Structure 1
Amino acid sequence: MDLTVFSGTANRPLGEALARTLGRPLGKCHLERFPDGELHVELQEDVRGRNVCIIQPTVPPVGENLLELLLMADACWRGGAARLLAVLPYFGYARHDRRSSPGEALGGRLVADLLERGHFDRLMAVNLHTAALEGCFNMPLEHLDACTMLVEALRPHVGPGSVVVSPDLGAVKLAERYARHLGLPLAIVHKSRVSGSEVNVQGLVGEVRGLRPIIVDDLISTAGTIAATAETVLKEGCADDITVVATHALLVGPAVERLARVPIRRLLSTDSVPHRMELPFKHEVVGLAPLLADAIRRITGSGR
């Protein structure tokens, strides 16, 4: 069964790269916003009886991009598509996997329910903030890992004087993998979250004095965690040569301003999130298209 690839507007360059890697033209779809804000979606491809892949990371504005994905899926389903695959390189609401108070909404589960109502047969995501989110889905979830790609991009910048730093306990397993692949020691920062954008560092386990830190996390949002980690290792006497590695570099709100205050030499991230701004440090971007394309071929049985 042949494959048609559509891309939403959230990250069009990645959608185009994915279609090229799969050796297929990007499917034509007309998206128009009416004066009242409503979104109109109309396919310009025949999808009857075909496998259809729709790539759309739910980056900010999350609600708008999620609705666009669902409308595109509805158009494909009503057009007779045989199977629908949603590719969300970045999955918004992945941090909403549990409630910390009785009055909270469970955003992760709600988004999972919405995607299931969107007639998707399978979902693909990259480095979810918490793997526990997979339990929210009744459909198969292909959870891809960009760690190996990022490790290889990082390797030329690593030397015997480097140390991998986990910015909190939640990132320890990820940081351990980087440390193991690179043959480096590991240090762990203990933090507590004050709010959605503020954190409080409580201590550091491991040695960083005189070493070049590589701070590893899956996600940078407002950069409060990364900035606090950088300040902590600087106080402990690390070298003024800090590398930050993250799968998803959202860099929203005060993120860039916060990171500019510490001596970050480079940031490595994937293109799960579109990057439109100039940064005060070197930014190396690793393309996800090969990783996504390989998984799509395996799932759909579609070769080049």
Structure 2
Amino acid sequence: MKRPAKDVKIFSGSSNPELVHEVCRMLGVPLGVAKLSRFQSGETYVSIEESVRGADVYVFQSFSHPVNDHFVELLVMIDALKRSSAGMINVILPYYGYARQEKQDQPREPITAKLVADVLTTVGAERVITMDLHAPAIQGFFNIPVDHITALDLIADYLRTKDLSRAIIVSPDAGRAKTAERLATYLDLPVALMNKRRPKHNEAEITHVIGEVKDKVPIIIEDMIDTGGTLVKVIEGLVEHGARKEGILCATHAVFSHPAHERLNHPLIKEVVVTDTLPIQRLDALPKLKVLSVAPLFAEAIERIHTNRSISSLSLDTSRP
């Protein structure tokens, strides 16, 4: 990969430093030096320990647990960089938190995904790079450039290493239908759609299965896995309709809130495929887990943005070191 110019600076919040170190390694750019700490009261402190004057700065932060702490830390970092005369502040959000609160499902609810966009812009972010938003329309919440990249090619490349002769791509709800269709097209597979309703947060009830899943290996595609409850019900519903008892779950973001690990060890789930947009804890508790790295995608995105090239056709080149 072509190394960006010397005026590129990459900084990391505390949410996912392993991913950022790998991106820096691939680009041949040292990780920017910043001091991150908290006062006894819980307040966040950030100090940028090197000059960023006039530099193109890229700040990585995923909204992993604790979400609010990492969000505030990102805001403080952006403010510190702005006051240090950074030339351009690019915020890289591998996982955009609060994305599930992108509309009002009931009266008097907030649209918190828009609030996050407003705060990031107000504090000084000048570009956002993110991956597989829960709702692509969130891009429109920003009045600054948003580069929305996807891990779908990465997941498709991994699935191509398997026997897909009896596989079918399954969308767990209408919101994932377009993504499921794209993956099915990439892999030349049929597609099925589940219909579900949510009686409350983190709970779902499967009502219908649209498509022929009998004697098929279901490959379920989602943007994230939170508690895993919905996906377990999807698998169980598919098996009730004749699907094989060897489902494969694929998702970009491994949120894995309790009790996700226990649920994903369900005997009807053969494999869980995720990426490292979020740090993954307790790997030994889920032996069927396969983690794909998105570092090459973000490294390529940074290189293309810095050299003013399009990232709309961004794809994974597995020949990179």
What TM-score, normalized to structure 2? Answer: 0.91
Corresponding residue for residue 32 of structure 1: 37
What amino acid sits opposite 2:127 in the alignment?
R
Corresponding residue for residue 48 of structure 1: 53
Corresponding residue for residue 316 of structure 2: none
Corresponding residue for residue 255 of structure 1: 260
Equivalent-residue separation in structure 2 for 1:294 and 1:45 (angstroms) = 25
Corresponding residue for residue 297 of structure 1: 303
Provide Cα deviations, 1:39-84, integer angstroms capped at 9, x if missing partner: 1111111111111100001122111111111111111111111000
Equivalent-residue separation in structure 2 for 1:83 and 1:249 (angstroms) = 30
Give the CA deviation at 1:110. 0.6
What amino acid sits opposite 1:88 in the alignment?
L
The answer to whether residue 164 in structure 2 is matched with residue 159 in structure 1 is: yes
Give the CA deviation at 1:302. 8.6
Corresponding residue for residue 131 of structure 2: 126
Equivalent-residue separation in structure 2 for 1:126 and 1:75 (angstroms) = 25
Report matched runs for 1:135-146 at 5 Å: 135-146=140-151
What amino acid sits opposite 1:89 in the alignment?
P
Question: Quick check: 196-205 or 233-242, which moved more?
Answer: 233-242
Corresponding residue for residue 264 of structure 1: 269
SS at match of 2:160: helix
Corresponding residue for residue 279 of structure 1: 285
Query: Taking every aligned residue pair, what percent have the same amino acid on both sides?
Result: 37
Corresponding residue for residue 243 of structure 2: 238
SS at match of 1:21: helix
Corresponding residue for residue 85 of structure 2: 80
CA contact (8 A) 1:265 1:281 kept: no
What amino acid sits opposite 1:167 in the alignment?
P
What amino acid sits opposite 2:245 in the alignment?
D
CA contact (8 A) 1:56 1:88 kept: yes
Equivalent-residue separation in structure 2 for 1:177 and 1:223 (angstroms) = 23
The answer to whether residue 61 in structure 2 is matched with residue 61 in structure 1 is: no
Provide Cα deviations, 1:228-252, integer angstroms capped at 9, x if missing partner: 1001011122222111100111111
Corresponding residue for residue 319 of structure 2: none
Equivalent-residue separation in structure 2 for 1:166 and 1:65 (angstroms) = 31
What amino acid sits opposite 1:289 in the alignment?
A
Corresponding residue for residue 11 of structure 2: 6
The structure 2 residue matched to 1:183, chosen from 169, 183, 188, is: 188
Change (3 A) 1:302 1:24: farther
Equivalent-residue separation in structure 2 for 1:48 and 1:221 (angstroms) = 40
SS at match of 1:95: coil
Report matched runs for 1:88-127 at 5 Å: 88-127=93-132
Provide Cα deviations, 1:211-269, integer angstroms capped at 9, x if missing partner: 21111111111112211100101112222211110011111122222222342111111
What amino acid sits opposite 1:192 in the alignment?
R
What TM-score, normalized to structure 1? Answer: 0.96
Give the CA deviation at 1:172. 0.8
| Structure 2 unpaired stretches of 5+ | 310-321
Corresponding residue for residue 314 of structure 2: none
How many residue pairs get aligned? The number is 303
